Amino acid sequence: MIARFLLWLAGIEDAGRVTALRDWHWRFALPGGWWALALIVLLAVFVAGLSAIRRSGLPLRLRILLTALRLLAFGLLILMLARTEVGVTFELAENPSIAVITDRSGSMGLRDGPDGLTRLEAARRMVDALGGRLNAQAYIARYDLDWRLSDDMRDTATGSTRLMEGLAELLDREHDLQAVILLSDGNDSTGDQGSGVAALYTDRGLPIYPVVFGRSEAARIPRLRLTGGADYVRLGDELRIEAQFEAPDFVGQLVRARLFLGESNEPIVPPIRDLTVGEQPLRLGFTIKPETPGRKVYRLVVDGVRDADSEELLVLEHVVDVIPDGIRVLLVDIPRPALKMLGHWLQRDPVLETASLVLLPKEGWYAQGRMRHENRGTGLPDREADLYEYDVIILGDIPRGYFREGDPAETRMQWLAEFVKRRGGGLITLGGQQVYGAGNYDHSALAGLIPFAIPTLRDPHVKGNLLAIPSPLGLQHPVMRLEADAEANRNAWLDMPQLEGANRVGDIKPGAVLLAAHHTDDGAMPLVAAQNVGKGRVLSLAVDTTWRWQMLRPIGSDADGIPEGTDYYRRFWANAVRYVAPDPRLTPDRPQIARPPAQMDVGRTAVLTTRLVDRAWQPHRQADLTVRVTAPSGREIRMHPTDRRSRPGVYDYPVTFDEAGVWSVTAVVNEPEALDAIARAEAAIAAAKAEADAGALAEAEKRLATARARMAREKITVGGDRA
């Protein structure tokens, strides 16, 4: 009983935990030393002796009791004055503290565990079993780990595997551990080998016991990945979505591929059926033509794979912006067959808004189509801002004298250079009798844009028939893509009719790409080349007789079984104009958010970029830009990024995607004004609808579109470590 009382005083409620008494000792700290103790003892004896004297008149028993009490009181006084301490060393049987960490990354969702369980479900079952067995014998701290250490114990497997960071964080959270049990299926996805963490655990003498889930052989996981697909397409154009399906563990199985729009369960194009899985990847391709503008989410699904450990990678999504605006083209040339044929087909292209200016033989200009600048009979616009109303300029056989006439500084040519470099416009130059070296264009502002050198030669023209042979890089270039299949594209170019004559040009400039050349005994003579210049693109042709591809193409009839030849001339020029056309999503005073990867891992920090230009297409510096990032849970983060002098008009801001789901990123210029304008425009629309005033409704909708032009939104899907 006394022992239990003493243990209780020591803070040990369970006496059964004491296994041994190792040591004990007394310690005194009496003020004044031993002489003070002797004095107190003498005083105690004297006082106690007074109680023992017979003359006190007290009975003998009472005198003895009183003497003992006085001696005891003085003894207690001595103990208190001496600050007496008793030191006892016990040996306790303490329950160990164990941390159990469960890997909850995306690969733990593979269903290859016992009884058809996922790896995460099997790990959860094991943790429950450990808790049931060790609950009375150990203290168990349970944690989950994907990209970070947490104790929320969710049942979803998502995120990347950052084992070493999680183990280091565990040491900061738990300071009294005897062991760590790690339930995982693989290595650290960041590549951290744990050299730093191992030293920390070694110093503490803390062991780690790993338990590995999953089969010892490689997981049977088919994979579907996107290999081709534009981020945007103009309304009226076709969109090509290409993917590659790899399933070497399922050779011989028959699968099918389907393409859906959004959450619809009805395929938007006929499925590709009866695809036989082989050792080599299957190439899938769908061609669609969006019918309405806006943002579209296309979902490509491959199904029919049996006994796969995961079906997550059999679905991919591709986000595409369908732009309602066409490409505004200005064709500038002299009267000749190339102009007639090219202008005819450009005007028939439903995506192009083509206007043409023809330099008349004597004087003046003849305009056709919808001009986006005031035509004063002087050809190209008289103001630089008017030139920016176009997306693509096609410059034909215009002599350099036109730019020099009355203007030694060749201002219009300088504007063309700025149109490409600063505005990001597209420029296509054609061969002719008065251009390149034949027109003394060397050492001009235009010569700096051309992808090949412009030498001064005595004979600047090559006569006779020429065959345009694509270069190896040219066969893969968007301009030269006449057929989707690589072999069919190569054969199409070999069968193209010959051209007639060309300009002699020099070597391809560094950074430019040779797309096609005419091969002679003296080497390859460039015919088609492309180059990025500033924010724009330039495509230059040393020939002006591409119309022969149209006029001399093979034509047959159904009667003799020969189909009509494909119109590769029209396809080539459609490719050319679309390639050099600028991104329509970047407009003055409207933020453009550079789209990050469609699928992002949980826990990743990505630097997003917003670009701004003003009405003159100059970088918009120090703009009042507000960025709102909204997490799937509704949590909102507001930022006010600034641009740097080294990157004017480009606003970077880091975002850590710490939740799985769809994130929303909104960028607004002059936020209070923009939001107020949107609210007023929406109120005006509601009032116009209530009064059924068509004119007011149209005006209000126009104001709403203008106000929303100062705002950009982007959706980002955050998933996890996809095995």
DSSP-based three-state secondary structure for 212? strand
Residue 486 CA to chain centroid, in angstroms?
29
pLDDT tens per residue across span 507-533: 999 999 999 999 887 788 999 999 999
Does pLDDT of 472 surpass 50?
A: yes
* 576 or 124, which is more confident: 576
If you average pLDDT over every residue of the chain, what do you get?
Answer: 83
The pLDDT value given to residue 202 = 86
The pLDDT value given to residue 558 = 40
* The dihedral sign for the CA sequence 488, 315, 274, 287: negative
**Among 36-45, 529-538, 558-567, where is mean pLDDT lowest?**
558-567
Distance between CA atoms of residues 372 and 387, nearest Å: 8
Distance between CA atoms of residues 705 and 710, nearest Å: 9
pLDDT tens per residue across span 697-718: 666 666 666 656 667 778 777 7
Distance between CA atoms of residues 419 and 431, nearest Å: 21
Does pLDDT of 374 surpass 90?
A: no
Bridge partners, 499 (sequence order): 466
Q: Among 568, 567, 569, which residue's Cα sits nearest to residue 545?
A: 569
Report which secondary-structure segment, H or E, holds 335. Answer: none
DSSP-based three-state secondary structure for 364? coil
260, 265, 266, 271 alpha-carbon torsion, rounded to 10°: 60
Band of residue 83 on the pLDDT scale cut at 50, 70, 90: low
Q: Look up residue 63 and give its amino acid.
A: R
The pLDDT value given to residue 13 = 57
The pLDDT value given to residue 185 = 82
Does pLDDT of 662 surpass 70?
A: yes
Does pLDDT of 293 surpass 60?
A: yes
Distance between CA atoms of residues 68 and 51, nearest Å: 9
Overall average pLDDT of the 89-117 stretch: 78
**Among 200-204, 210-214, 306-310, where is mean pLDDT lowest?**
306-310
The pLDDT value given to residue 563 = 44
* 406 or 354, which is more confident: 354
pLDDT tens per residue across span 605-619: 888 999 998 888 888
Name, of 28-32, 69-73, 296-300, 563-567, the range with top average pLDDT.
296-300
pLDDT tens per residue across span 429-469: 999 999 999 999 988 999 999 999 998 888 889 999 999 99
pLDDT tens per residue across span 304-332: 888 776 666 688 888 888 988 899 999 99
Band of residue 199 on the pLDDT scale cut at 50, 70, 90: confident
Beta strands in 324-455 (DSSP E): 327-333, 352-359, 365-369, 392-395, 426-429
Beta strands in 37-94 (DSSP E): 85-92
Distance between CA atoms of residues 219 and 139, nearest Å: 35
Distance between CA atoms of residues 185 and 187, nearest Å: 7
Distance between CA atoms of residues 358 and 360, nearest Å: 6
Structure tokens at 415: 């504007």
The residue written with tokens 């006892």 in the block is 88
The pLDDT value given to residue 487 = 92
- Answer yes or no: are the C-beta atoms of 345 and 339 closer than 8 Å: no
Structure tokens at 331: 């064709």
* 51 or 407, which is more confident: 407
